[in-house]
Amino acid sequence: MAIITQLLVNGLIAGSIYALIATGFSLIYNVKKLFHIAHGGIYALSAFLAYTFIVLFKLNFILSFILTLIIATLLGVLIDLLIYKPLRKQKHNELPLLLASFGTFIFLESFILLIFGADVKTFNFHITKGYEFLGAIITKTQIIILIVAVISFILLQLFLKKTTLGKALRAVSDNKEIASTLGINTEKITMITFAIGSALAAVAGILIGIEQNLEPSMGFMAILKGFTAAIIGGLGNIQASVLGGFFLGIIENLGIWFLPSGYKDAIAFVILILFLLYRPYGLFGMKTREEIAG
């Protein structure tokens, strides 16, 4: 029993990170119909930026958090303007966009490797004794991760549902042409989407930093898990991406009950392929099958 609750807790923590990445990814996919792989690079870079501010510059945590958020946001917008925007003008731009996104990701990852080197980094936070909860141990940092993630999701929901900009963003996601005939500036909405999406990736990057060691290559698995979560939930639905993230985190952790833990990553992709085949619109999505398989 204790093992199951422990695996569930671990799943929830991993799930919050996946869900944060998945929501940003899904948001950008909704507006631009683009698989933003470079998102994983922004996530990893944010973790290393936070490390730079906290450990190297010895700034306090909140300030480091805000600085990292700002830089990540700017970077996301810059990637869209410099790389994706010129490509959107090409007609058959599916493969070029995907590869350019991969290229950008590789650039960011190698940049981190060049600057910080290959050895692992930590934020050096004190490890405090965990709380016991139904036989499982949950640490203070894990509670922080969960709370910050949930707050981020609530803020995102409020933005999308209550503000004019958020409504405009959803309008562009639903139908770009009609939105633009109604006078919505789609270029501006694109910028805001990349800004918010990247900020979410940055939050995930900083949060993972308080819990785990940082490695330059950490972004790749993260983005793969992020879009797997988005697809499990159903691309095109932000709440569903959150649930998809938690679902993936929990399934993955429960999966190591049956398989050696080395197969943890493989579990996610078996689920991805199964979903692509049998339920490509995800658990909660409403997308028609025709958009995915012809």
Partner 1 sequence: MIENYLIHLLILVGIYSILVISLNLAMGFTGLLNIGHVAFYGIGAYTSALLTLNLHFPFWIAIIISGIIASLFGLILAAPTLKLKGDYLALATLGFAIIIESIFKNWTSLTRGPLGIPGIPHPSLFGFEFSSLFSYLILVIIFVLITYFVIERLVKAPFGNILKAVREDEMVTKTLGKNTFKYKTLALVISAFFAGIAGSLYAHYITFIDPSSFSVLESILIVSMLIVGGTASNKGAILGALILILLPEPLRFLSLPSSMIGALRQMIYAVLLILLIIKRPQGILGEFRENVA
Helix (H, G, I), strand (E, B) or coil at 214: strand
Our finding on whether 257 is near partner 1 (CB under 8 A) is: no
Task: Give least dist CB 51 to partner 1, A.
Answer: 17
Task: Give least dist CB 268 to partner 1, A.
Answer: 8
CA–CA distances in Å: residue 78 to residues 45, 71, 194, 255, 284: 14, 10, 9, 39, 32
Which residues, 62 to 91, sit near partner 1 by CB under 8 A? 83, 86-87, 90-91
What is the phi/psi pair of residue 35, to 5°? Answer: -85, 100
Q: Which of 68, 104, 198, 241 binds partner 1 (CB under 8 A)?
A: 104
Cα angle for residues 47, 152, 222 (degrees, 5° grid):
40
User: Which C-beta is closer to partner 1: that of 61 or that of 220?
Assistant: 220
Listed residue (33, 28, 22) closest to 203, CA to CA: 22
Q: Which tokens hold the place of 164?
A: 């004019």
Our finding on whether 16 is near partner 1 (CB under 8 A) is: no
Our finding on whether 109 is near partner 1 (CB under 8 A) is: yes
Q: Which of 18, 25, 35, 65 binds partner 1 (CB under 8 A)?
A: 35
Q: Which of 102, 125, 159, 284 binds partner 1 (CB under 8 A)?
A: 102
Q: Which stretch binds partner 1 (CB under 8 A): 50-58, 62-70, 174-182, 272-280?
A: 272-280
Listed residue (58, 49, 59, 100) closest to 79, CA to CA: 100
Enter the DSSP assignment of 121: B
Centroid of chain to Cα 97:
19
Q: Which tokens hold the place of 167?
A: 């409504």
- Kindly list the residues in this chain that would bind partner 1 in the complex (CB under 8 A): 35, 83, 86-87, 90-92, 94-96, 98-100, 102-104, 106-107, 109-111, 113-114, 117-118, 220, 224, 227-228, 231, 260, 262-263, 265-266, 269-270, 272-273, 276-277, 280, 291-294
